[in-house]
Chains A and B, each alone.
Chain A
Amino acid sequence: MAADDAETTPMSDEAVLPLLVAMLGDDVQPFELLAARAAQRAGREWAGAILGEAPASPLPLDAWLAMKNQAKRSFSRHGLAQGDDEALGAFLKYLAAIAGARRDHGASITEMSAEEVGRALGLVGPYLPEPWRACFARARAVIDPLDDQVV
């Protein structure tokens, strides 16, 4: 859609998140930028294209770790800070691997705190296509905030 055709009526659910994240300026966290990207019109399709089909059955923990490590190599803090689409896509995969490990094994495979992971999954998850949306929700539900032991 061209900018000339843009509907600028505010306050739809989808508009609220990108607007508030834009207001955060330099204080923004990567997962907030990612949520704002996924909340955009066609954001769900964008996320779905990056994540592909989620495995119906649990994956071994090593598989989630491999996915996380591969994704981590594909984004830089600079790219994330710029809201670069490629970096955000890699970060989405990174977060999906963390969610999968939580969901399938109750394991933490990140240095992010349990609280931060919970906030990230809660903010991004609702904008993902199924079955990833359910995967993020399930992972968030099994997070023990006192357990930050990294595998």
Chain B
Amino acid sequence: MATPRSGNFPDTRAVWISDRLAEGEAGVAEARNFVMATYQRPLEKYCMALRLGRQFGAEPEDVVNGFFASRLASPEFLRSWAGSGLRLRKWLRNGVNFYVREQLRDRNAIDRFEPPGLDSSGQPVDSAGTTGAIPGEPAADLLYDRAWATSALEGAITATKFALASAGRDHYWEIFWSSRVLGVPNETTAQSRGVTAAQVRQIVHTVADRLREAIREVLIKDGAKPADLADEIRAMLHALHDHGR
């Protein structure tokens, strides 16, 4: 269990999306864009693993696009999440399951349909139909977590590179990559860049800090508690490393 850290951030879930929804149309659009950019691919992987949509001839991409069009059109969907206590990715995964079930019902493609208000195990769900636990296949959940972690990591990298480029420091990323990912000795990098090894160390440190800040933002938007950052990163490591090998 992580020890609460210095408290630079409020220990409140769903603040970012709630704030965006309160800003009116522009904020709603920003929240919607974030959800689609971050969760589209993971949800497609999930649909692919469970073959969701195949019953009515839809490809995973079509299912997720349909789900987003159906749910994100109204800010109420994300507003409901903000009060759910669930992580956004779990909420969306559950939402896709319910969306597919609705599609099947509408097409009369299933013999039995659980009435609104109850999930398949008889547990109550809210009006958005997303609170109940979905007994998904573990393998699909692992794939989903892995795809989400990849998306989150890519988002953090993109944000970091953008911030560096905006400050005219594109080369910082290259130096960081060379040192931390490729393992080029700092002295070698310093020589090729015309800087000192101490400067290389400082640049690597600066980029690592920015990356950490960027992943924190992605995680908070997903509903993570800021105090749990290290545990969250280790969970990503577990998803991407242990299950990716």
- By a beta-carbon cutoff of 8 Å, the part of chain A in contact with chain B is 1-4, 6-8, 10-11, 13-25, 27, 32, 36-37, 40-43, 46, 122-123, 126
- The one of B153, B156, B175, B184 in contact with A1, judged by C-beta atoms closer than 8 angstroms, is B184
Question: Closest chain B residue to A9 by CB distance?
Answer: B177
Say whether, besides A16-B241, A17-B241, A2 and B182 are in contact (CB < 8 Å): no
* B residues 144-195 touching A (CB-CB < 8 Å): 150, 153-154, 156-157, 171, 173-184, 188-189, 192-193
> Is B208 within 8 A of A13, CB to CB?
no
Contact A22 B178 (CB under 8 A): no
Given contact pairs A2-B189, A3-B189, A19-B211, A14 touches B181 in the complex (Cβ within 8 A)? yes
* B37 contacts chain A at the CB level, 8 A cutoff: no
Instruction: Give chain A residues whose Cβ lies under 8 Å from the Cβ of B173.
Output: 8
Closest 7 CB pairs of A and B: A40-B183, A27-B230, A2-B192, A3-B178, A6-B178, A22-B208, A3-B189
Bitwise, B207-245 to A at CB < 8 A (1) or not (0) is 111011001000000000000011001101100111011
Distance of B175 from chain A, by nearest CB (Å): 5
| CB pair B153 A6 closer than 8 Å | no
Q: CB < 8 Å: which of A2, A32, A37 contacts B188?
A: A2
Q: How far is the CB of A8 from chain B (nearest CB, A)?
A: 4
Count, chain B residues at interface, CB 8 A = 40
In Å, the complex CA distance between A11 and B150 comes to: 8
Contact A41 B183, CB 8 Å, known A16-B241, A20-B237, A24-B230: yes
Residue from A19, A23, A24, A122 having most chain B Cβ neighbours under 10 A? A23
A8: chain B residues within 8 A (beta carbon): 173-174, 177
A32 and B233 alpha carbons, distance in the complex (Å): 12
Q: Is the interface of B mostly helix, strand, loop or mixed?
A: helix
Tell whether, in the assembled complex, residue B182 and residue A6 are in contact, meaning their CB atoms are under 8 Å apart.
Answer: yes
Please, how many angstroms separate the alpha-carbon atoms of A41 and B180 in the complex? Answer: 10
Across-interface contacts of A2 in B (CB, < 8 A) = 178, 184, 188-189, 192
User: How far is it, in angstroms, between the C-alpha of A54 and the C-alpha of B207 when the chains are bound?
Assistant: 37
List, in ascending order, chain B residues with CB within 8 A of A122's CB: 242
- Given pairs A8-B174, A24-B233, A27-B230, 6 additional interface contacts (CB within 8 A): A2-B178, A2-B189, A3-B189, A6-B177, A16-B237, A23-B211
**Chain A contacts of B240 at CB under 8 A?**
16, 20
> Which of A6, A13, A19, A126 is in CB contact (< 8 Å) with B184?
A6
Question: In whole Å, how far is A71's beta carbon from the nearest beta carbon of chain B?
Answer: 21
Q: Which of B192, B215, B229 is in CB contact (< 8 Å) with A3?
A: B192
How near does chain B come to A67, taking the closest CB pair, in angstroms?
25
Report the Cα distance A14→B207, complex, angstroms.
19
Assess whether A3 is in contact with B180, with CB atoms less than 8 Å apart.
Answer: no
Docked-complex contact A10 and B208, CB < 8 angstroms: no
> Among B178, B188, B193, B215, which residue has its beta carbon within 8 angstroms of that of A23?
B215
Give every chain B residue within 8 A of A19 (Cβ-Cβ): 153, 157, 180-181, 211
Q: Which of B171, B183, B237 contacts A37 (CB 8 A)?
A: B183
Q: A16-B240, A20-B153, A25-B212 are in contact. Are A4 and B180 (CB under 8 A)?
A: no
